[in-house]
Amino acid sequence: MKKINWRQFLGFLLIALALNLYSCSNKEQPAQNNVVNDITQLNPIKVQGIVSPVSTRELIDLVKRHKGAISIGGGRFSMGGQTATENAIQIDMRRFNHIVSFSKEKKEITVQAGIRWRTLIQFIDQYDLSVKIMQTYANFTVGGSLSVNVHGRYVGQGPIILSVKSIKVVLANGDLIEASPSQNQEIFNAIIGGYGGIGIIAEATLSLTDNCKVERIDTVMKIGAYSQFFQKSIRNNKKVIFHNADIYPNGFDEVRAISYLETNKHLTIKDRLKPNDGGYAFNRMAIDIVSGSKFGKWLRKRIGNPIYYRKNIVEWRNYEATYDVKELEPRSRQTSTYVLQEYFVPIEKFDSFYPKMNRILKQHKVNVINISIRHAKKIQVQ
């Protein structure tokens, strides 16, 4: 019997449904001079001008010369208008993207703030090293991630500040200073998570860790059982590298808990990094259908996900760290957009929080594509 290619089968099914349900223009919005927008395309901001420095000297000179407001942007994935300021000079950091220094022995790397995580991981992968903490998608710039103090699916690691050894910062007066958990500590704590409020991150020195093989394990459960499951099986399990749990809409009463555990098993995925070829038509089609109807949500829960998670794959840690955010991009931002909201809830309050959340979502008929539960370890600022 010929083996069924489940990806093709599901792809054809979803394409057929999509062709019946959707008709979407592929025309992009025309570019506007000196208008900065974030990924949602909901926050266009007119700025005085846009500059793209490539050296720290340029950053310093620009800050010293300019007397008005300055805003800083990288990948522009922060939502809500944080990436720009009206009538300010916008510093686009994406050309400020080089590796400054690296030590395999010390497991550390120093980079310019505009480098994207994908580029950084491609470099350290050849030395069998990996990033300690980052967000799920690798398109963000390092400086942007530090500015919002991101966290990801790394269990027990906390936000990214815990992997930063030091930073170099250009302050509002043009001074270049070095800050770390032990040097200029107040500036260090104010910069990371400070959205560029007191200065521009020029360089960052990050701690690295070993790349390793991870095995994906998943289980579906009632949402009321999740908190106990997390406390017992995930929170203090040193083998768990990544973990998240997805709450299924529109019932919001079941979750799929997904963990990646360190393993010595043979790889089922040989690639060291995810392909960066932009071939995401299938992903976009699936998201279109999930976001467009209740039937799409049922299809994902009852057919799509059971097929996708039918096997426990084994892959490299770096492979799981190189998701491309383009797989979430709609075919046109003129007709639809997706927005991320994030809420921080103490673990012991989760069981009282989610029923209230469910009530609000159902009462207002919010079109939810997915709710992902992550663990952000609480940190103590000295």
DSSP per-residue letters across 270-287: --SS---S---HHHHHHH
For domain 95-210, is the CATH number 3.40.190.10? no
Residue 32 pLDDT class (50, 70, 90 cuts): low
CB 51 within 8 A of CB 10: no
Write b or e for each residue in 284-308: b if 16 or more Cβ atoms lie within 10 A of its Cβ, otherwise e: bbbbbbbbbeeebbbbbbeebbeee
- Look up residue 38 and give its two tokens: 């974030």
Partner residues linked to 130 by β-bridges? 209
More confident residue, 213 or 29: 213
Residue 80: band (very low, low, confident or very high) from pLDDT cuts 50, 70, 90 = low
Which tens digit of pLDDT belongs to each residue from 294-310? 899 999 999 999 999 99
Tell me what pLDDT residue 328 has.
79
Asked if pLDDT for residue 25 goes beyond 60, the answer is: no
Per-residue pLDDT at 245: 97
Is it the case that residue 52 has pLDDT exceeding 60? yes
Residue 81, both tokens: 């208008």
For residue 21, pLDDT over 60 is answered with no
Residue type, 148: V
Residues in the chain: 382
* pLDDT digits 0-9 by tens, 309-330: 999 999 999 999 999 988 877 7
In our burial notation (b when 16+ CB lie closer than 10 A, e otherwise), range 196-228 reads: beebbbbbbbbebbebebbbbbbeeeebeebbe
pLDDT tens for 110-145 read 999 999 999 999 999 999 999 999 999 999 999 999
| pLDDT of res. 99 | 98
Query: What is the crossing angle of helices 281-292 and 6-21, to 10°?
Result: 50
Query: Stretch 353-365: mean pLDDT, rounded?
Result: 95
Q: Is 116 exposed, middle or buried (0-12, 13-18, 19+ CB in 10 A)?
A: buried
Using the structure block, give the residue that is written with the tokens 């949402």: 223
